[in-house]
A and B are shown apart, each in its own frame.
Chain A
Amino acid sequence: MSAFAAGQAVRIADRLTIGHTRVPSYVRGAKGTIERVLREFLIPEDDAFGRPHGRRQTLYRVRLAAHDLWPRYRGLASDEVQIEIYEHWLEPVEEAKQ
């Protein structure tokens, strides 16, 4: 059972880590939405150390608005980056109440 569903607002964790995570620094701390839920994969933190039976986590595709990622971004408001993030790097975001 995956913790997040397509369309849900999420934040990518902003952690300082050593080792292999496959989470590039430019997306850490960024807010976005789940584009689609993929399936479970062996996480890089274990894969990189040759542990084929290590921890597995659901992988998601997350959409991030280019304007949110980059101050003074030049392009359309709808321009976006999509990236794969494992579940243990995602945090739920409370939808702002109007």
Chain B
Amino acid sequence: MSESHDHEHGEHAPIQTHETPGEWEVLEIAVRELAIEKGLITADDHRRLLEGIDGASPMLGARVVARAWVDGDYKRRLLADGSVAFELGIDNYDRTNLIVLENTPQVHNFVVCTLCSCYPRPILGLPPDWYKSPSYRSRAVRWPRAVLAEFGTVLPDDVSVRIHDSTADMRYLVMPMRPAGTEDWSEEELAKLVTRDTMIGVTVPRVPSPPA
């Protein structure tokens, strides 16, 4: 850019992409258009599916965890059968088979998919980029404590770590421990403590410190 060209806003990458679609993208478009042309699905079916996928977010999982924190019977049923999570009106659009893993004072659970990026998408949304990175996937099973420390989570020496490699048909949701000092909190307030990363298990929920 020339020196006289002084925009008020910062420079950013152009929104327009000039890349030609790759082989898989072309294949997807071709199959989709064929399926629509043959009347197997409609364009609106496809759009609605994408809207659902993009609409799922960790707030759904947070509701499940918060409910389990306040309702002992729900928690027992949820730990015995992860499909109970979908009772709260969550659309299990890809028929995820869910297992809920309970953190305890003795055991810290966390989840990785060493082979690809398996993730409980209907309940947490799309996985973060780091979850898909070869660095996280290869190191989480080999140096779990060091990887957790990189996320700011230093496990005490008397807490066992349990790494769940999500490689086949099941998907995993970590139920973190309810923080101390939240005994009189409502379910809605509790849900705000339950973030995406606490349900992958790379960190734990914390009560924000009161303003000084």
Q: Tell whether A pairs with B.
A: yes
A residues in contact (CB < 8 Å) with B: 22-24, 26-27, 38, 41, 44, 59, 61, 66, 69-70, 74-76, 78-86
Would you give the shortest CB distance from A33 to chain B, in whole angstroms? 14
Would you give the shortest CB distance from B181 to chain A, in whole angstroms? 28
Q: Is the CB of B160 within 8 A of A80?
A: yes
Q: How far is the CA of A74 from the CA of B148 in the complex (A)?
A: 13
Given contacts A74-B145, A79-B144, A81-B141, contact A22 B167 (CB under 8 A): yes
Q: Is the CB of A75 within 8 A of B165?
A: no
B residues in contact (CB < 8 Å) with A: 97, 114-115, 141-145, 157, 159-170
Q: How far is the CA of A78 from the CA of B144 in the complex (A)?
A: 13
Q: How far is the CA of A41 from the CA of B141 in the complex (A)?
A: 25
Q: Is the CB of B169 within 8 A of A83?
A: no
Q: Is the CB of A79 within 8 A of B167?
A: no
Would you give the shortest CB distance from B62 to chain A, in whole angstroms? 24
Q: DSSP majority for the A interface? A: mixed
CB neighbours (8 Å) of B114 from chain A are 24, 26
CB neighbours (8 Å) of A38 from chain B are 97, 169-170
Residue of A nearest to B159 (CB): A76
Q: Is the CB of A41 within 8 A of B168?
A: yes
Q: Is the CB of B115 within 8 A of A82?
A: no
Q: Is the CB of B141 within 8 A of A26?
A: yes
CB neighbours (8 Å) of A22 from chain B are 115, 167-168
Additional A-B contacts beyond A78-B160, A82-B163 (6; CB < 8 A): A24-B165, A24-B167, A66-B144, A75-B145, A83-B164, A84-B165
The 6 closest A-B pairs by CB, nearest first: A84-B168, A78-B160, A83-B165, A41-B169, A22-B168, A79-B161
